[in-house]
Structure 1
Amino acid sequence: MSPAHVLDKYYLAITLLVTCGYQFTGFFIAWTLQFDKITDFTGGSNFFILALLTLLMGNTYFARNIVVSILVMIWASRIAGFLLYRVLKTGSDSRFDDIRSHFFKFLGFWIGQILWIWTVSLPITILNSPSVSDLAIGGANPEFGTGRDIAGVIIWGIGFLIESIADIQKFRFKQNKKAPKDMPMNTGLWAWSRHPSYFGEMLCWWGIWTIAISPATNASIPSVSRAALYGSVVSPLFTFVLLMFGSGIPTAEKPQAERYFLKTYGANGDYPHAWKNHQDYTEQTSILFPLPAMLYRPLPRVLKQTLLMDFAFYRFNEDTDGRKALEREQGGV
């Protein structure tokens, strides 16, 4: 059966329209009711919707299309379900405390979520679209099971396990009332990486892209279609940039450091070793790539801040950031 042609042969317009409609509906509900219960859920579930929608519209059901669509839907189901469960248990999401009541700031977050979902979904969107499916019907799509396909599945599988296990470990740590209050989580995957869940998510989308571009290796496919498949590399690249420089690591590193700094030097500094414990943890634990502490700790700082990407701007400076934190705590400017 032939794929359905909807608006354009790459399914770019229809996926953008569906994403905008779904996210703006979520925004309207969240803004009207002033709560955070569905914010992350709508993000994760949107990936599921796009994967299923483009697979059904593509209407070709080749093994590669089915496998990639299922992998995306598994990833989306897990992250949407986990984030929904987490916010239901905690009651709210502190990330939105400063913007929840500001219409345009809150709307800006949802617009950013639209950009994230649509961009990161590009490999599955283009693979399932007529730009590739029409050619696949003519025999231009190599059978699933190439070395590239196998590598992609392995990369995705490793990333999915790392992200899933890391999220569970961190959630249990935060829910454990007996966990030490003056010590960052330094067990499990978090003993090897300060952000293992982000590393796992990056691997997942590199795996998806690796599988999705297999048809582009066939010289009989027009150059424009091959370029579209290769161009979907913006998906894993966007994921990397977002987590490394946007809403990922930058929003976690300094705020966490500030909490431990104030535990020691703040008005209610009841934990004299909290700040030192945090410093020791960051010195011996890789910021992203999982590495044993015995290997990471002795590495030169210049190597950590370049090749291993523990950039200087992630660091909490006691003199400047610490002073500002104390002033904020005291109600100063």
Structure 2
Amino acid sequence: MLTVILASFAAVAVLMAATAVVARRFDRVVVVDATWGLGFVVVALVCALLGDAPVRWLLLVMVGVWGLRLFRHTLTRLLASGEEDPRYAELLDGKPFSYAVTRVFLTQGVAMWFVSLPVQVAAVTETRWTWLVVVGVVVWLVGLVFETVGDAQLAAYRKQPKESRPKVMDQGLWRYTRHPNYFGDACVWWGIWLVGLGGGLVGLATVLSPAVMTYFLVFATGAKLLEKTMMQREGYPEYAERTSMFVPLPPRKQPVS
């Protein structure tokens, strides 16, 4: 297990260092978003090659499908934008690049390694509770659907002419949660954790990994940070009043004026 954990840490360190170099070259810290999905795939591949438990191949598929889809989606968005993400622009306003190295690249690298601990542990742990593996795959699939469909619906909304489309995206999954993609991400990693938990109580020790991922998605670099920018857009505060921020819920009824 120690070999898998150390090799995973080394892979993440190399990948994030390379990402920092690219970000410095193009003066866009947001490239780290593309590395986020790809990094987990690299870790899962390392675990599959160095581990010995059969479930490691299932986890490689689960992480690979999720991570490569996210990498492709994020990279396409970055290439189309050509600008820094407002979240990072606000976070790093007036600060040197060294601040980004510690606050963004180092932080996300450590988070990536920590969140992927269930994959690392499961790679060397024989499955004991198959039913938990099945439950985990179902939760993962729900998350993948939320993330994929949510991203597709948002992309379709953005393709509409600005003068004729609604002020905010509040259709489809976005009617029930303001961040279906982030909710989907959380479900994906709780599902992966459940698959690892099928190996017994040793998997229980990694419960903080999906909890940390959920924290990042809700409070750190995800929903809360994005909300600061979105609340300045016309119509968004009203949308926020009637729509759950994270967990999908029926829209709240608005009082009749």
Q: TM-score, normalised by structure 2?
A: 0.89
Q: How does 1:1-333 map to 2 (within 5 A)?
A: 8-9=2-3, 11-35=4-28, 38-58=31-51, 60=52, 62=54, 64-94=55-85, 95-97=87-89, 99=92, 102-107=96-101, 108-129=103-124, 132=125, 136=126, 141-142=127-128, 146-178=130-162, 180=164, 183-216=167-200, 226-227=201-202, 229-260=203-234, 277-293=235-251, 296-297=252-253
- 1:130-166 deviations in whole A, cap 9, x for unaligned? xx2xxx4xxxx337xx221111111000110001111
Paired AA for residue 278 in structure 1: Y
- Structure 2 vs 1, CA of residues 175 and 106 (structure 1 numbering), >3 Å: closer, same or farther? farther
* Aligned match of 1:267: none
Asked if the contact 1:30/1:36 (under 8 Å) is kept, the reply is yes
Asked if the contact 2:53/2:122 (under 8 Å) is kept, the reply is no
- 2-side partners of 1:175 and 1:232: how far apart? 41
- Structure 2 vs 1, CA of residues 45 and 298 (structure 1 numbering), >3 Å: closer, same or farther? same
Shift of 1:179: 5.7
- 1-side partners of 2:14 and 2:45: how far apart? 16
Q: Which structure ranks higher in relative contact order (CA pairs < 8 Å, sequence separation ≥ 6)?
A: 2
Q: Percent same amino acid among aligned pairs?
A: 25
Q: TM-score, normalised by structure 1?
A: 0.69
Paired AA for residue 240 in structure 1: T
The runs of 5 or more residues in structure 2 that have no matched partner are: none
- 1-side partners of 2:222 and 2:163: how far apart? 24
- 1-side partners of 2:163 and 2:65: how far apart? 31
Which protein shows a greater Rg?
1
Q: How many residues are aligned here?
A: 251
Shift of 1:105: 2.0
Shift of 1:278: 3.0
- 1:50-86 deviations in whole A, cap 9, x for unaligned? 101111111x361x22112210111110111100011
- Structure 2 vs 1, CA of residues 105 and 178 (structure 1 numbering), >3 Å: closer, same or farther? same
- 2-side partners of 1:241 and 1:37: how far apart? 20
Shift of 1:47: 0.6
Paired AA for residue 25 in structure 2: T
- 1-side partners of 2:241 and 2:161: how far apart? 26
Asked if the contact 1:36/1:92 (under 8 Å) is kept, the reply is no
- 2-side partners of 1:298 and 1:211: how far apart? 41
In proportion to residue count, which structure has more helix?
2
Paired AA for residue 288 in structure 1: F
- 1-side partners of 2:243 and 2:22: how far apart? 40
